[in-house]
Structure 1
């Protein structure tokens, strides 16, 4: 198996396991609209994971496998934390550090590409991410935090990297092209 095949296999298994957890998560109003679009879920989760290195992905996959063995559902836990229906899942400061950095990446990306990348409430983004991060093992949190710190040192923006991947996947060209098209579409709507 090549390195690329190994990475694809990691990503596929992670997203399959996440999707199973997501589809098993009860929703107060019945099946949610998001649960009815599993392919959209797959794309968005792939986008989220695309920037992680193989060590982080492998650690996270171990977290998912262990959670299944223990009867845990990370998606259920994340949403319960967001609704404050359960206490924090970790006392580690790393979820805050990572969520703060990702929110800063989002703010910068949205400033640079305001039509293609929306803030959509950065406080909500930060809360959503922090609650998701609480489900991760200490090892995975350390690896993710290391990626964040490295990206900052290298002047990289992980949100921009994710959106560049999405633009290519959707056949939209570069992020600059997406920005120009979104800006033009916005002007047409106003006219």
Structure 2
């Protein structure tokens, strides 16, 4: 099993156990889509970040923590703030370094996400809304989702992730475009441009 497959297996097992206020979500029974979307993300990561995150998931499983449940719980600070206030104290606290690093990463990734939307508007329209200001009880933005996910990473993984983002910047590349390119290929398109054209 590759590290990516191992990550997806652990995430899926945790996702299957997520308790939703409104009952089990349909996406919790759709492994094929879950696998494709998560694989697209992890294919855009470097080896060090993947290995560190896999270690996080393995440690969490041994400790009885569900990082996927925690991710969705953290998102509720924006989508359901009153409910979030009732359980915020149960989530592992984040250090000042983690909070500042998360926000720096988000700033960069929002630039990339919006740049992607300008070049590939049709593909962008199939994804989440972009900014937290667009959140609603029924829809979570890219920014809020990313903030929730980054908040579940260990300091070691967050450090590796930050370095990976810095490397993308140095190369003049866009991690959103990289992930969406993988998505297009996994859906069977020849390229991201071909997928964009098909959505006309």
Question: Unpaired segments of 5 or more residues in structure 1?
Answer: 1-7, 184-191
Separation of aligned partners in 2, 1:57 and 1:171:
24
> Following superposition, which runs of at least 4 residues in structure 1 exceed 6 angstroms of deviation?
none
CA–CA separation in structure 2 for the residues paired with 1:152 and 1:51: 14
1:112 matched to which residue of 2?
119
How much does 1:72 deviate? 0.7
Moved more, 163-172 or 130-139: 163-172
Which digits, 9 at most, give the CA deviation of each residue in 1:96-148, with x for residues without a partner?
Answer: 12222222111101100111223632112111111111111111101111111
User: Any conservation in 2 of the 1:22–1:35 contact (CA below 8 Å)?
Assistant: yes
TM-score of the aligned structures, taking structure 1 as reference length = 0.87
Offset, 1:18: 0.4
- 2:128 & 2:72 partners in 1: Cα distance? 18
CA distance in 2, matches of 1:45, 1:76: 16
Which 5+ residue runs of structure 2 have no aligned equivalent? 78-83, 132-140
Counterparts of 2:72 and 2:193, CA distance in 1:
34
Q: Which moved more, 1:115-124 or 1:160-169?
A: 115-124
Q: Deviations over 1:133-191 (max 9, x none)?
A: 111111110111111111112110011111111111111111111112212xxxxxxxx
Please say if residues 100 and 126 of structure 1, whose CA atoms lie closer than 8 Å, have aligned partners that are also in contact.
no
In 1: Cα distance, 2:120 partner to 2:41 partner: 18
Name which structure has the greater RCO, CA cutoff 8 Å, separation 6+.
2
Report matched runs for 1:179-190 at 5 Å: 179-183=196-200
Once superposed, what is the RMSD of the aligned Cα atoms? 1.5
Work out the number of aligned pairs and report it. 176
2:129 to 121, 131, 134: 121
TM-superposed CA distance for 1:57, in Å, is 0.7
Q: Is the 8 A contact 1:21 1:73 kept in 2?
A: yes
Matches of 1:165 and 1:128 in 2, distance apart? 20
Contact 1:56 1:144 in 2 (8 A): yes
Q: Tell me the TM-score normalised to structure 2 length.
A: 0.83
Aligned equivalent of 2:184: 167
